[in-house]
Amino acid sequence: MPSSAITVAVIDDHPVVLAGIRSWYAQARPPIEVVASGEDVSAARTESGSAADVVVVDLYLSGGVPGYRMIRQLVDEGRRVIVYTMVDSQEAALTCLDLGALSYLTKAEGEPHLVAATQAAAQGLPYTPPALAGAIGTDTRPSRPTLAPREADVLVEWFQCESKGMVAEKLGLSVRTVNSYLDRVRIKYANVGRPASTKATLVARAIQDGLIGLDEL
């Protein structure tokens, strides 16, 4: 957890929501500071917004079209994104996760979950609030890759170890073999349209697919 204040850029077109988020964050420990806010993605690209640790976005801004493209752009820019929306939709939640968002929260879930999700995202970790857990648990889409048992073993151990060398030692493999298994997993995710080029993204994918729980990290 960062020792200094976590900084956030908030993209939302409802002033009352922005005021509420600022108030909740002001009471958080460690502190969370809204350094930029606005009605569109440009808020995350101002001088202060571009340096924010986390970007919180409403899925539906003016116009009524879901902001999937905006989420993809922010993720491609290396931003840590949380979707915070009125829309309680399994399809929307899973789509946002597939695009690389670290969490999807409904506004009904309120302060405790938004603060916890922001603290997790500042570390590059996913967060699963109740509504999202339900969406993940009932996900029957054919986009979950089928991993061989050894691939799953290596993946889970890598999440729990500090290095691939430690994974190799624990499983009695060479580092080269560990890398080979992880490469296969990445290829399988890419082949179903859910690329996972970083360890953080791969962690999020594994949690979404029930391969590992947050309590195991």
Residue spans per domain, the chain: 6-137, 149-216
CATH architecture of 149-216: Orthogonal Bundle (1.10)
Selection from 100, 122, 102, 103 nearest residue 51 by Cα: 122
Report the Cα–Cα distance between both ends of the chain, in Å, rounded: 14
Inter-residue contact 6 to 123 (CB < 8 Å): no
pLDDT tens-place string over residues 196-217: 878 877 877 777 777 766 566 5
Using CA atoms, how far apart are residues 102 and 118, in angstroms rounded to an integer?
A: 9
Which class would CATH give 6-137? alpha beta
pTM assigned to the model: 0.66
Those residues with Cβ within 8 angstroms of residue 105's Cβ, 6 or more apart along the chain or in another chain: 82, 83, 84, 85, 113, 114, 117, 129, 131, 132
**pLDDT tens, residue by residue, 130-141:** 767 666 666 666
Cα separation, 19 vs 152, whole angstroms: 43
Cα→Cα distances 91→68, 136, 138, 139, 192, Å: 12, 10, 11, 9, 16
